[in-house]
Structure 1
Amino acid sequence: MEYIDRRRSLPCDHGRRWLSFETLAPSPSWGLRHMRTKSAVRLVLFPAALLLSLASIPSDRAPHALRTSDAYAAVDPKADKNYDLASLETLRKSIVQIKDNYVDPSRINPKEMFTSGLEAVERQVAEVMVEFGGQGCSEQGAHKEPGIAATAAADCGHANPNLPEGKVRVTVGNATREFDYRDVDNIWQIPLKMRDVFTFIKDNLVTQNQDQREIEYAAINGMLSTLDPHSWLLKPELYKEMKVQTRGEFGGLGFVISMIDDRLTVRKVLRNTPAFRAGIRKGDVITQIDNDSTVSMELQEAVDRMRGKPGTKVSIYVVRKTQETKKLDLVRALITYETVTSKLLDQGVGYVRLSGFSGTTHREMLGAIKAMKAQNGGSLKGLVLDLRGNPGGLLEQAIQVSDAFLEEGTIVTTVGVNGTLREPKLARNDGGEREFPLAVLISSDSASASEIVAGALKNLNRAVIVGRTSFGKGSVQVLYDFKDKDSGEESALKLTIAQYLTPGDLSIQEVGITPDIELVPARILKERIDLFAPPKTFREADYDKHFFNSFARDEEQAKAARERAVQKPFETLRFLKEETAKERKTREAIEAGQAPEEDDSDDPSDEDGVTLDYQIEFCRDLVAQAATSTNRQEQLRQAKPCAPTRSPTTTSSTAGSSSSGNWARRRSGPGRYR
């Protein structure tokens, strides 16, 4: 997930910021996120930006019925303070942005968007049932991308052969009405037809206690699902949390919380924070905030109650195993959202792990490198930059991180609708961290902004890339925020508006960043040894309706583009990896089709928050033996003779050392920072 500040180079769009985000760069267990887990954990992994409002769009760019004044006139605030479902205020604004800015207009199918929006409403509201005229799935296959198994068409389960083609029957409770959508042949017709349907739904709903905004949000996300996997609407509570994590700083207490077994549980305590100084520990349960019990309290409500202006007070009641409840009176402080972890390794090599790209990441990274230099006598012999599991973040931060290690060249280029609006981002020749060898660790869930960093440092020959092929998300999104005129809350449309290219105009869409040295784990289980155990990963190419490499328009073009883009590693090494008790439980749960429990009890991180695994040690030795070379090609030539000796599966001596290289997947612990 990256953001591009567009105001500097495209003044016609000032007031808006671009972002390309893997908002959801899935981990290997991505498919399990939709299961009901024992620990109801919510973690936001993507950032946000303030963007263009509908009011700044010239009114002659949309039909009269969609102009801003008309959208607001649908509800008279003096006559009715309640939300009017039929006004479709957010949907109308979304339609305008899709029409004006969506990267691939050929994907916009008004009828499909309309029907998918109604299907989503049916899933959201139990009283609503929709049926579409047609013969179902037997006569028309579902849309699918290359490499994706065929799936049922979106409306297969809703087809009614007794209805004429182009008709939809909507049932709300005991009321039924048919609507003709054959005239929905352009995108402007969608809100006009939706207004008729939503008026019928609103008039016939029996239960009125549901927030009707949720119905509109569901319809919008149903429509967006027909475009691509990264365009969707963020509801106000999600957008609010996203903006907090984007800034990288907030007023709070300094710990991460989750709902585990319906109890508000501390997952992690940050050093030098009010929570740390008060003695709060991982595993503590918060039973009360000020005068209110946390029983049945929503996680977001608990978050909001404990956050606040630095210097203000809050009381929490904490219970620990075998101990009585203790009241703690705390004063909120400015908390930095941690995205940087560092440690000085043996041989004078520095280690920096970036878990994301927030507004403070570049500054924190430079501070960490400076501290390690001072600890090592003023310089480093090399640096390991760990981007494994990094789902992305602010693009400007990714550019600054890359620029810190580069002298010249194009870091990334964004390309807008139909290959237009090219905007290169160049190294500024002021990066101060160019005197030491650099190795970058990536994994299959390194996505978006982290792929921009890895791609820039690889293609500009600054760093050796080590690990596994990355996620493969090369698209760019923008967030447009929509403020509700009654509640004042903001939702945001995340819309794909461009692709990005790594140096050399190379698209990594679908294919990802190929490591120079591929490290493949061999898994040791009680009952067997999996020599070439493939990780269970979900990557960009596994999404239905994902974009093709280089945004090719058909399968033939896509195949040719992928063949041009796919690279082979310079070397592939395999290493032994013993399975921990936690990993065994996770594997067994996955194999049984269940979601693994959240459990940090055997977290092997040291006091610096760093787990020294085989891959880190490999990179440490790689840069240590590279002398002073900062050129990737030279480092690879030097690495060739030493690589076999570092492969635990090729020699008995290194195989025996696999325990010291105990490979534990590093991930961001789920939870919310307080």
Structure 2
Amino acid sequence: MFRKLLPPLALVGALALVPVTTSTVAAADVDTYKELETFMGVFERVRANYVDKVDDHTLIKGAIDGMLAALDPHSSYMEGSDFQQLKSTTDGNYGGLGLSVTMEDGVIKIITPTEDTPAARAGLKAGDYISHIGGELIMGLDLDQAVEKMRGAPGSQVKLTIIRSGRDKPFDVTLTRERIVLRPVKWEVRDGIGVVNINTFSGNVGQETEAALTAINKATAGKPLGYIVDLRSNPGGLLDQAIQVSDAFLERGEIVSERGRAKDDIERFYAKPGDLTGGRPVIVLVDAGSASAAEIVAGALQDQRRALVMGEQSFGKGSVQSVIQLGQDSALRLTTARYYTPSGRSVQAGGITPDVAVPQLTDPDYKDRRVIREADLRRHLIAQSTVDDKLLERDTTPDPRFTQTAAELDKRGIKDFQLYYALQTLKRLAPGAAPAKVAAGGGPVRSR
């Protein structure tokens, strides 16, 4: 989850307010200056004696990257093409394959493919590993270098070698790069139920969600049976958009709180009056790819008793990254806070637990495929919950509702079991209603 980009001189201006004086230096931690002396000693030795000549910029950037990598998986320094890619991604228009990835033991691991992108259409899944890019083993490359190899001009192709749990051997997938223009919000009406699919939280998602709810209300003559908010495989995005989306379903109450290092560094965000759904029942779908801003929405509606959350345990990214632009072409992405749901739950490393756990039975690999969550990432932040989390005894008895196989469901024409189950549940929540078959009013809802 990201805060909006700060202006280029924000950090410079802040530093200018603290003049360096003799008393300031005298009060500084002596141990810190000893560590800095060690750093400068290493810097000078490398500069003078390394087998090949290395420019100062390479050494300093490497030191910055190493410093931030020692903190957590989400803090980083960006410049050049990396910085431009970040800005394009948060704007919802960028070039590539449509993958959210991380690095584990020298191999790229897919967190989630983005809907309607080359990666999703090729069938790549959360938990897949990428061992080769273009036939080249990526072991030894850092994450930025590996991602750079997957980028390229729209229309060009790249071959990825995929390792998937449950498969006997790796397999190759050839993808055609394209300009990724996200359609973050899509909607349709199924049997009188409005389905809103939100696949990212880039700019204007809040407005597009409100437009989708208005369109669904019109398509059902003002009488929808309820709403399904599909946040599966949504990697998150902007904090303000998550707040606006949550607010569309709430009449009042807290949505989320941010808590920084200091005990009194707390910021709370509240819903404004006006539930655009008119209080009708809501189901939120999540899975292991639902992260960050998606978890804010799910957690807010769950804690406020406004929605039933279904699906699988979410990713568990409960930290806030502030993007501080340092110059015209560089920025610092720094973890500055944890966020908490209205009841005081920290989502960090634990995620959102669905009210009703529903496996994706129409995915033939779902039992064997290993998914990745925040808790699997090295140096992930530890949760700091403000409430007592009591461990519940897990019931390992097979659920008779979920015994069908993917082949059996396919014969019945069911392509997405989690969505199917949510639709059936909403119909049961409206007994006596006779849902008319309403034609899909789908497609993307674009802001105007």
Q: Give the TM interval when normalised to the shorter protein.
A: 0.5 to 0.7
Task: Summarize the Cα distance change of 1:534–1:53 in structure 2 as closer, same or farther, 3 Å threshold.
Answer: same
The CA deviation at 1:520 is: 2.6
Distance 1:461 1:225, change over 3 A: same
Deviates more, 1:496-505 or 1:619-628: 619-628
Partner of 1:302: 153
Q: CA deviation at 1:522?
A: 5.7
Give CA deviations for 1:52-109 in whole Å, capped at 9, x if unaligned: 3234224647688x99xxxxxxxxxxxxxxxxxxxxxxxxxxxxxxx9xxxxxxxxxx
* Aligned with residue 337 of structure 1, among 170, 178, 182: 182
TM-score of the two chains, using structure 1 as the length reference: 0.46
Give the partner amino acid of 1:426: Y
Matches within 5 A, 1:127-526: 185-186=31-32, 190-204=35-49, 207=52, 213-248=57-92, 302=153, 337-345=182-190, 347-483=191-327, 488-490=328-330, 492-521=331-360
Does the C-alpha gap of structure 1 residues 300 and 470 become closer, same or farther in structure 2, counting only changes over 3 Å? closer
Identity fraction in percent: 31
State the partner residue of 1:614: 417
Letter in structure 2 aligned against 1:53: L
Shift of 1:190: 4.8
2:374 maps to which of 523, 540, 559: 540
Change (3 A) 1:258 1:498: closer
Q: Distance in 1 between matches of 2:47 and 2:415?
A: 58
Q: CA deviation at 1:428?
A: 0.8
CA deviations on 1:338-361 (whole Å, 9 max, x unpaired) are: 21122221x111111111101121
The structure-2 alpha-carbon separation of the partners of 1:317 and 1:216, relative to structure 1 and needing over 3 Å to count, comes to closer
Q: Does 1:54 align with 2:12?
A: yes
State how far apart, in whole Å, the 1-side matches of 2:255 and 2:416 are: 30
Cα pair distance change 1:381/1:523, threshold 3 Å: closer
Q: Contact between 2:43 and 2:59, CA under 8 Å: does it hold in 1? A: no
TM-score by length of 2: 0.67
Query: Contact 2:313–2:353 (CA<8 Å) still a contact in 1?
Result: yes
Q: CA deviation at 1:301?
A: 6.7
Secondary structure at the aligned position of 1:550 is classed as coil
Sort the Cα spacing of 1:202 and 1:211 in 2 relative to 1 into closer, same or farther, 3 A. Answer: closer
Query: Per-residue deviation at 1:435?
Result: 3.5
From the superposition, tell whether residues 249 and 537 of structure 1 become closer, same or farther in structure 2 (CA, over 3 Å): closer
Give the secondary-structure state (helix, strand or coil) at the position aligned to 2:402.
strand
Q: Within 5 A, what are the aligned runs for 1:25-40?
A: none
Match of 1:578 among 395, 402, 406: 406
**In the TM superposition, what whole-angstrom CA distance separates every residue of 1:97-123 from its partner, at most 9, and x where no partner exists?**
xx9xxxxxxxxxx9xxxxxxxxxxxxx
- Structure 1 residue 482, shift from structure 2 partner: 1.7
Q: Secondary structure at the match of 2:229?
A: strand
Distance 2:79 2:356 in 1: 41
2 CA distance for matches of 1:579 and 1:49? 51
> Aligned pair in 2 of structure 1 residues 500, 521: CA closer, same or farther (>3 Å)?
same
Deviations 1:618-665 (A, max 9, x none): 111212222299xxxxxxxxxxxxxxxxxxxxxxxxxxxxxxxxxxxx
AA in 2 matched with 1:494: R
Q: From the CA coordinates, give the structure whose radius of gyration is larger.
A: 1
RMSD: 4.1
> Letter of the aligned partner of 2:268 in structure 1?
P
Cα distance change, pair 424–574 in 1 and its aligned pair in 2 (3 A): same
Task: Tell me if the contact between 1:415 and 1:421 (Cα under 8 Å) persists in the aligned partners.
Answer: yes
Q: CA deviation at 1:235?
A: 3.3
Partner of 2:133: none
**Residues 311 and 357 in structure 2, CA contact (< 8 A), matched pair in contact too:** yes
Give the superposition deviation at 1:389. 1.1
